[in-house]
Amino acid sequence: MALILGTVTLSTQSDRLAHTWASLGPIGAIDEHLWLLKILLLLNDILCAFVSFAQAIRLLSHVGVLIAVPAPTIHPQQVARLFIQARRHHTRGMRCYYLAGPLLFWLFGPLLLVLSSCALVIVLYFLDKSPEPVVGKEAH
């Protein structure tokens, strides 16, 4: 919520900040319409992350309740499906959160957008790898 409010505040002060940020950017003057488009994309991304995290929390609370229900009443596969759905919402929220970084750097210029996107891809490449299975050793 703090990120959403900060983004909205940033969008209302675009006329004052455009002059300051133009001096920081290597390209020069910033078009106000493009500035607002960038802010709206950042706001949309943060809102999508918020909704995804809220859905994940909601579904995980349902899973917590359904785990205590006896097996004949509800099938364990239904609980597993809800858990997987909650995990997918959490993953979507994290991806939106990661995307906010390059979108934020885009405010400073297109070169920083490209550099931060490449850095994000490299970091996620190493973070998202599954551990390799251990062959020939027994798991303890």
The residue that leads in pLDDT, 10 or 114, is 114
- Give the mean model confidence (pLDDT) for residues 122-140: 75
Residue at 136 is within a domain? no
- Give the mean model confidence (pLDDT) for residues 77-82: 92
Residue at 23 is within a domain? yes
- Report which DSSP code applies to 26: S
What does the pLDDT read at residue 72? Answer: 81
Domain that holds residue 31: 2-127
Residue at 65 is within a domain? yes
What does the pLDDT read at residue 85? Answer: 96
Distance separating the N- and C-terminal Cα atoms of the chain? 43
Distance, in Å, from the CA atom of 99 to the CA atom of 92, rounded to the nearest integer, reads 10
What does the pLDDT read at residue 86? Answer: 96
Total domain count, the chain: 1
* Token couple for 104: 């934020």
Residue at 42 is within a domain? yes
For 6-36, write each residue's pLDDT tens digit.
766 766 666 666 566 555 555 555 666 787 8
Residue at 17 is within a domain? yes
Residue at 138 is within a domain? no
Residue at 137 is within a domain? no
The DSSP string of 46-84 is HHHHHHHHHHHHHHHHHHHHHHTS-TTTS-HHHHHHHHH
CA distances from 33 to 17, 30, 100, 116 (A): 13, 9, 20, 23
Burial label, 97 (beta-carbon count in 10 A; 0-12, 13-18, 19+)? middle
Q: What pTM does this model have?
A: 0.73
Residue at 132 is within a domain? no
